[in-house]
């Protein structure tokens, strides 16, 4: 085996963020760049489903499993049908994303190193990437998307955790024209928010999910019971359904800081780089945006440093919202219901993606329970001051992604 690989760019971690970077490099015609991808697992096939909103007409169109112009938000009190135009809600399974990345990798002539990275050493000129069982990689730049904890503990450390069943029905059962984005009729946990999700890809095939935003995970049996309850709430007859696949996920929802640039030539991407929106867990759109920025920069001969995943002020808004939810000063279903009831859907979705103007954000903020938010904000400001005066605490580990039958990510 080669003992050292010299490249211009090393992708450390080859999951969602890195796959989107590879595809973007190919799309922007970047050639003559020596690239290595280092990951102990060569990702292939379906290991997750991404749902996100965007405008139709992107290069993702041919890869989508489904997309919806209309989605539903349901609370025990009301069902709201939202027309998302000019946006859409889209579903992308990991298989086509990894396949496109593999094709890009081939066209870029990238070197694949199937080994876990132990550490990176950045001397300001080159970065040495040491692997346990594979060669050492010397790179001009490193894009690091290995899962890692935030730099220090946050004031609120919630998790978005979920289980989904891919259900096949023996007769037309689902309405493929409409997705249930958040259905809050599920029993609400003592601390946190829960909701169901129904994403039909055809009249006989759909992803049904049970999701919680809360501090702690359920047991496997707990997720199954919650999902069965949601299936019954949808009046789906289990005797006519087969569970074809099971999907589990855990995503951090925290105001703890993720460091996006730990050293001059190392850039963190994906969840590790702060691409996960703390108030929603949505990550895909920011990863896609940053992958495009990285590729454009390299195509123009500039360093592969993307803009921050979200504007700074959004970090503050998210911290406030998380704190208010955690304290119970706003109820989750009520919070999301008001957001969508009092704003055009497109504004809320762009807000959640971090692409609204300050004026639009003010309008969004006004539509949430103001007094509770202000109280939470005052608490947040006091904590900020206290944190600044206090030495750094150690951070809790970021939860690993657990899939059925598979060990957590290394
Ligand atoms: C089941 C699931 C569903 C999700 N659905 C959505 C969704 O609908 N919408 C949305 O916006 N977000 C969603 N997310 C959140 C987010 O988009 C994904 O987690 C996404 O895959 C994050 O990309 P990433 O590159 O940061 O991490 P990953 O895709 O997890 O990639 C990290 C990579 O690092 C590798 N690695 C680990 N240790 C090492 C090491 N020592 N050396 C080298 N490599 C290492 C891993 O093997 C892995 O391939 C979902 C997450 C999960 C788990």
Distance (angstroms) between ligand 1 centre and the Cα of 3 equals 28
pLDDT in the model for residue 308: 96
Distance (angstroms) between ligand 1 centre and the Cα of 16 equals 5
Tell me which of 361 and 117 has the higher pLDDT: 117
State the Cα–Cα distance between residues 193 and 107, nearest whole angstrom.
Answer: 45
Ligand 1 site, residue 271, Cβ cutoff 6 A? yes
Ligand 1 site, residue 403, Cβ cutoff 6 A? no
Residues linked to residue 131 through DSSP beta bridges, in sequence order:
117
pLDDT in the model for residue 358: 85
Which of the residue ranges 44-58, 280-294, 298-312, 317-331 would you say has the lowest mean pLDDT? 317-331
pLDDT in the model for residue 250: 96
Which of the residue ranges 25-39, 280-294, 357-371 would you say has the lowest mean pLDDT? 357-371
Q: Does 394 have pLDDT greater than 70? A: no
pLDDT in the model for residue 371: 52
pLDDT in the model for residue 2: 63
Confidence bin at 377 (pLDDT 50/70/90): low
Q: What are phi and psi of 146, to 5 degrees?
A: -60, 140
Could you identify the residue written with the tokens 């996920």?
A: 249
- 366: exposed, middle or buried (C-beta count within 10 Å: 0-12, 13-18, 19+)? exposed
Distance (angstroms) between ligand 1 centre and the Cα of 408 equals 11
Which of 12, 270, 278, 352 to mutate to test ligand 1, by most ligand atoms within 8 A of the CB atom? 270
pLDDT in the model for residue 385: 64
Confidence bin at 331 (pLDDT 50/70/90): confident
Which of 23, 48, 136, 210 to mutate to test ligand 1, by most ligand atoms within 8 A of the CB atom? 48
pTM here is 0.91
Q: Does 266 have pLDDT greater than 60? A: yes
pLDDT in the model for residue 29: 96
Contact 364, 347 (CB under 8 A): yes
Tell me which of 242 and 332 has the higher pLDDT: 242
State the Cα–Cα distance between residues 254 and 319, nearest whole angstrom.
Answer: 8
State the Cα–Cα distance between residues 209 and 197, nearest whole angstrom.
Answer: 5
Distance (angstroms) between ligand 1 centre and the Cα of 41 equals 12
State the Cα–Cα distance between residues 154 and 387, nearest whole angstrom.
Answer: 10
Phi-psi region of 100 (alpha: psi -120 to 50; beta: other; left: phi over 0): alpha
Distance (angstroms) between ligand 1 centre and the Cα of 276 equals 10
Q: Ligand 1 atom closest to Cα of 248?
A: 1
Ligand 1 site, residue 134, Cβ cutoff 6 A? no
Distance (angstroms) between ligand 1 centre and the Cα of 195 equals 22
For the stretch 118-135, pLDDT in tens is: 999 999 999 999 998 899
Q: Which residue's CA is the nearest one to ligand 1's atom 20?
A: 16
Q: Does 395 have pLDDT greater than 70? A: no
pLDDT in the model for residue 55: 93
Ligand 1 site, residue 116, Cβ cutoff 6 A? yes
Q: Ligand 1 atom closest to Cα of 269?
A: 26
Could you identify the residue written with the tokens 């290595």?
A: 36
Both structure tokens of 101 = 């990345």
Ligand 1 site, residue 17, Cβ cutoff 6 A? yes
Rounded to the nearest integer, the mean pLDDT of the chain is: 90
Ligand 1 site, residue 117, Cβ cutoff 6 A? yes
For the stretch 159-208, pLDDT in tens is: 999 999 999 999 999 999 999 999 999 999 999 999 999 999 999 999 99
Distance (angstroms) between ligand 1 centre and the Cα of 15 equals 5
Ligand 1 site, residue 354, Cβ cutoff 6 A? no
pLDDT in the model for residue 351: 86
Contact 285, 277 (CB under 8 A): no
Q: Which residue's CA is the nearest one to ligand 1's atom 31?
A: 15
State the Cα–Cα distance between residues 302 and 291, nearest whole angstrom.
Answer: 14
State the Cα–Cα distance between residues 402 and 397, nearest whole angstrom.
Answer: 14
Q: Does 396 have pLDDT greater than 50? A: no
% of the chain at pLDDT higher than 70: 90
Contact 188, 213 (CB under 8 A): no
Which of the residue ranges 219-223, 272-276, 323-327 would you say has the lowest mean pLDDT? 323-327
Residues linked to residue 142 through DSSP beta bridges, in sequence order:
10, 266
Which of the residue ranges 188-197, 314-323, 331-340, 361-370 would you say has the lowest mean pLDDT? 361-370
Distance (angstroms) between ligand 1 centre and the Cα of 409 equals 9
Both structure tokens of 121 = 């050493």
User: Could you tell me which of 43, 51, 71 has the C-alpha nearest to residue 284?
Assistant: 51
């Amino acid at each position: 085996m080669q003992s050292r690989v010299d490249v211009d760019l090393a992708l450390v971690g080859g999951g969602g963020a890195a796959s989107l970077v590879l595809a973007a490099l190919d799309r922007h015609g970047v050639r003559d760049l020596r690239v290595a991808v280092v990951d102990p697992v060569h990702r292939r096939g379906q290991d997750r489903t991404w749902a996100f909103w965007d405008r139709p007409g992107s290069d993702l169109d041919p890869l989508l499993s489904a997309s919806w112009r209309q989605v539903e938000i349901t609370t025990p009190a009301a069902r709201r049908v939202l027309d998302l135009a000019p946006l859409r809600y889209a579903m992308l399974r990991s298989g086509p994303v990894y396949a496109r990345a593999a094709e890009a990798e081939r066209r870029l002539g990238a070197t694949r190193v199937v080994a876990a990275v132990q550490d990176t050493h950045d001397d300001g000129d080159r970065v040495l990437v040491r692997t346990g069982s594979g060669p050492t990689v010397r790179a001009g730049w490193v894009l690091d998307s290995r899962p890692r904890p935030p730099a220090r503990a946050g004031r609120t450390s919630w998790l978005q955790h979920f289980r989904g069943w891919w259900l096949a029905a023996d007769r037309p059962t689902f309405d493929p024209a409409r997705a249930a984005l958040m259905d809050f009729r599920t029993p609400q946990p003592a601390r946190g928010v829960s909701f169901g999700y129904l994403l039909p890809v055809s009249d006989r095939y759909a992803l049904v999910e049970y999701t919680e935003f809360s501090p702690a995970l359920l047991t496997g049996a707990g997720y199954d019971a919650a999902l069965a309850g949601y299936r019954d709430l949808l009046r789906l007859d289990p005797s006519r359904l087969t569970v074809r696949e099971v999907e589990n996920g855990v995503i951090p929802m925290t105001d703890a800081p993720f460091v996006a640039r730990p050293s001059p030539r190392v850039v963190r991407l994906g969840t590790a780089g702060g691409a996960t929106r703390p108030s929603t867990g949505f990550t895909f759109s920011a990863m896609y945006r940053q992958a495009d920025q990285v590729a454009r920069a390299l195509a123009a001969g500039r360093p592969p440093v993307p803009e921050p995943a979200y504007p700074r002020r959004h970090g503050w808004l998210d911290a406030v919202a998380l704190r208010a939810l955690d304290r119970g000063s706003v109820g989750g279903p009520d919070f999301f219901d008001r957001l969508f009831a009092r704003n055009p859907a497109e504004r809320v979705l762009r807000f959640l993606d971090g692409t609204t103007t300050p004026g639009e954000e003010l309008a969004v903020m006004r539509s949430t329970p103001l007094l509770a938010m202000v109280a939470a904000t005052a608490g947040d400001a006091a904590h900020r001051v206290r944190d600044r005066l206090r030495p750094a605490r150690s951070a809790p580990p970021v939860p690993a992604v657990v899939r059925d039958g598979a060990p957590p990510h290394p």
